[in-house]
Structure 1
């Protein structure tokens, strides 16, 4: 086991970043606000890998999260003085360059931290040979044992490229408690803790559907997991910080961006249907009972690619004859193009109201979007086709912003390679390189959605109300698939929710999902169901990452038993 400090049999792991662009001051807030053993930062959303890949293409010395380096400039000495290890995936697509930058920064401050590099995720140079095509970037999701080896070797700062988000927490747990590959339940428990922490303040009330009940959310605190030797934990936050940690806030994060009840990772497949939550005091939620299974034989690979060029213009239509005005603009815009781009869409948002008391409330929005492999097809000529209509189209025409040039479009997809393919290595501070072997036991992944929910019996009198009257929701994306987690807050309402939410119901409530594959998974211990709508998302959609789909679903009206109100 490593010298990772801990409070007896408890390892305190905090988070200070849920995405590239999160609150800059969070690192100092976490270091000064309370006791910690390890501070993690997650900077790598799928689209971030595309952004960083484009950065490195322009400048080979970039490709990492520069805000992390700036945070260390202000806080490295503080972390070293307090004995807090820092573990972050901020290396992005160029973690070696970030390690070099950290050492240069530290030397300039007269510091000598031990910095370790976890590498091997970058499969870009081997992509074609591995059957992954010719992407801009191909990065495998590495597990936690490399991070653990770095900490066991005494690293003060561990920099990784693409690892699973949960690995940032699982790795310190392995190093502290000595878990091996066979300790599947402990690894699964730590994976759940990592999943709760990975998105920062989403675990402490951020983006919560019942936000009005959570007190002061002006500046929610970042979460902390008190991890124990068996993999169980208590999720909490530093004293005096904003937000709240409740069973509801933790449930919301647990059902965020997941598929069915088997949550696969490179080290363990976590059974989400075994997770149990319990309020353990103010701002303390205990997570227990988590079971693990052997990981799948393949690991996921994030594939980023440039997908031509895009442009969009949004114009405002006010008052009367909205549909006729939109049709006139469509016809004129098309006539003004010398050639149509490969993709051309018009989306009319009828957000106007009749007899409106303000101009904004009387207005609708029409967005024209184009994509093409040739930049010229959606460049200035595209914008000019809208500008030229300023004095010769429908009455009251104006745009929400000046039309501009084309911007590069990207797409993120997933691939899979055998666990043995990534050359998972740790480069310790003294230059020693250690290879991390793949798991010796794997198991093919089989979907687990749970038995069909029995009907709740005679519900008695019902009222037609928004689903969100009783149910919370959180949604997001997995590539082009929308993920939605729904839950209720008491046992009596769960049979109603579990029987209500079926693929057909989802398609009825979300007409955009009509004709798309829908998967529903039931998680009774969490009083939750998860929904995956395949192919709902993508560039050009109003909400391309599906962040608001859950709130849309909550706003839809269903029959709610009066006995539950």
Structure 2
């Protein structure tokens, strides 16, 4: 069958507004997807729904569609999005109303059954990660627009691929290829040079959004529209492939994709071929993300300038101690951004950051806005803060649990109102599959002179969050660099370079086809991004910190 061209116009709720129009106008597409959901987004939409039961979906999508629905209809491009969030039926109705107002004949369907909030009292939002076969049912029945709630990010691509090519639920290699393509598309411009370690290799001032050319055998080519910014090469694709993944198995509701089988090759300018992906049966359970309010949070950053920074920090802590005695969680961080004999006041200053959390909003409000500001004329010399503290804001906690496929009513609500139940996968790994054998290490580089230098001179990295854990994918750009990296960057060495991880479980996975190592650091993000337990709560820059650390690197690589 013909190639299926699937594009992406959103990697998160708040991504480039013009991307939908650009993707429709700048080149041919069959399907345009938009990923609007993340763990934090579900919490935000949950709070929206508390204020208004009719809310709970990504309103940005509706505004984008008002500009673009006519163009999509004219070009015959179908739209598949998880912008439905907590209320896919509500967004589907809103799209119908928009189409009627614009006079555009559009068939709108939606997928539901992911909402498990009633089964988890005390949560603001509890949603199962569904697969792509509900989307496929909607498209097979003729839908032009398909709206979902919480599906896996890759399902936005596996659904259209299964519908277009007629794949069944046990065609695991083909489905796994589509999962990999979906994972590469889901974060938008991250696959076309955005957030890329070697960003200076191309012009990334305004990267175009990516698209995948999918084939019936599950292979694909990752590319972008001609003439758009950014660039696509094996490195940008490797970076996104490693993002927010773990070991060799990438488990989902439709299939378990084997990331250790992926082969990437340059297929021309801004074209990367993705092939060789093998798939296995999915696990017997679905992941359910639970979001709840954890309490209230407040913070203040004291600016410590000039001499005696440590002593000034000690004085602030001592003066604040009486006001913090009843607060449940108090965290102090001294960030030494100062330097001796500094030419500017900013470079002579350090930051002492105080973060407090408690179930009582008034307690966190009083502790900072009262006690901290009262020190203005009674504290250390040069006392000031970056911004006055507020009253305290609610923060969220994320965790995941797992339920059998059969515990969820996965339903495709077709454009004509018919409801089609989506059956659980016919085959599931009911037993824990045998561990994937660890691939052999490459031959080490022969001994030679070394130089102390940053890791990033010879390796790229991309990092991200999964609940309270973080992953850091590190890849080498040459075979010789891989021969060194695979031996030098052990889990123990990772802990040495990232002191926060020294007392945490760190698992290293080898992916030699990608010349890559993937590190999973358990618990480094506390209770997840919404809890903001860390300076970089989503671990977005953890990989760049690692690249900035110095090791003894063979001079032949430098």
TM-score, normalised to structure 2's length? 0.97
Alignment match of 2:550 (pick from 550, 557, 560): 557
C-alpha separation between the residues in 1 aligned to 2:443 and 2:537?
Answer: 34
Q: Which residue of 2 aligns with 1:456?
A: 444
Q: Alignment partner of 2:485: what SS?
A: helix
Q: Alignment partner of 1:196: what SS?
A: helix
Query: Is residue 2:171 matched to residue 1:171?
Result: no
Alignment match of 1:222 (pick from 175, 196, 209): 209
Gaps of 5+ in 1: 1-7, 129-133
Q: Which residue of 1 aligns with 2:351?
A: 365
**Aligned-pair CA distance for 1:335:** 2.8
C-alpha separation between the residues in 2 aligned to 1:127 and 1:263?
Answer: 26
Q: Which residue of 2 aligns with 1:241?
A: 228
Q: Which residue of 1 aligns with 2:265?
A: 278
**Aligned-pair CA distance for 1:125:** 1.1
Query: Is residue 2:19 matched to residue 1:32?
Result: no
Q: Which residue of 2 aligns with 1:320?
A: 307
Alignment match of 2:61 (pick from 51, 64, 68): 68
Q: Alignment partner of 1:193: what SS?
A: helix
C-alpha separation between the residues in 1 aligned to 2:260 and 2:316?
Answer: 52
C-alpha separation between the residues in 1 aligned to 2:340 and 2:525?
Answer: 31
C-alpha separation between the residues in 2 aligned to 1:366 and 1:163?
Answer: 41
**Aligned-pair CA distance for 1:540:** 2.6
Indicate if the aligned counterparts of 2:439 and 2:512 stay in contact, CA closer than 8 A: no
**Aligned-pair CA distance for 1:501:** 2.1
Gaps of 5+ in 2: 527-531
C-alpha separation between the residues in 1 aligned to 2:43 and 2:449?
Answer: 52
**Aligned-pair CA distance for 1:189:** 0.3
Query: Is residue 2:475 matched to residue 1:482?
Result: no
Q: Deviations over 1:343-400 (max 9, x none)?
A: 0111100011111111111110011110011111102443211111111101111111
C-alpha separation between the residues in 1 aligned to 2:384 and 2:95?
Answer: 49
TM-score, normalised to structure 1's length? 0.96
Q: Which residue of 1 aligns with 2:372?
A: 386
Calculate the aligned-residue CA RMSD, in Å: 1.2
Alignment match of 1:437 (pick from 411, 417, 423): 423
Alignment match of 1:494 (pick from 463, 482, 490): 482
Query: Is residue 2:58 matched to residue 1:86?
Result: no
Alignment match of 1:507 (pick from 491, 495, 500): 495
Indicate if the aligned counterparts of 1:121 and 1:162 stay in contact, CA closer than 8 A: yes
Q: Alignment partner of 2:167: what SS?
A: coil
**Aligned-pair CA distance for 1:452:** 6.0
Query: Is residue 2:385 matched to residue 1:399?
Result: yes
Query: Is residue 2:535 matched to residue 1:547?
Result: no
Q: Which residue of 1 aligns with 2:454?
A: 466
Question: What does 1:324-335 align with in structure 2 at a 5 Å threshold?
Answer: 324-335=311-322
Q: Alignment partner of 1:383: what SS?
A: helix
**Aligned-pair CA distance for 1:497:** 1.0
C-alpha separation between the residues in 1 aligned to 2:496 and 2:439?
Answer: 22
C-alpha separation between the residues in 2 aligned to 1:445 and 1:54?
Answer: 37
Indicate if the aligned counterparts of 1:460 and 1:561 stay in contact, CA closer than 8 A: yes
Alignment match of 1:123 (pick from 108, 116, 141): 116
C-alpha separation between the residues in 1 aligned to 2:385 and 2:196?
Answer: 33
Deviation beyond 6 Å, 4+ runs, structure 1: none
C-alpha separation between the residues in 1 aligned to 2:323 and 2:115?
Answer: 45
Q: Alignment partner of 1:472: what SS?
A: strand
C-alpha separation between the residues in 2 aligned to 1:343 and 1:518?
Answer: 25
Q: Deviations over 1:111-132 (max 9, x none)?
A: 231000100000111236xxxx
C-alpha separation between the residues in 2 aligned to 1:494 and 1:347?
Answer: 36
C-alpha separation between the residues in 2 aligned to 1:381 and 1:553?
Answer: 35
Q: Which residue of 1 aligns with 2:330?
A: 344
C-alpha separation between the residues in 2 aligned to 1:165 and 1:355?
Answer: 50
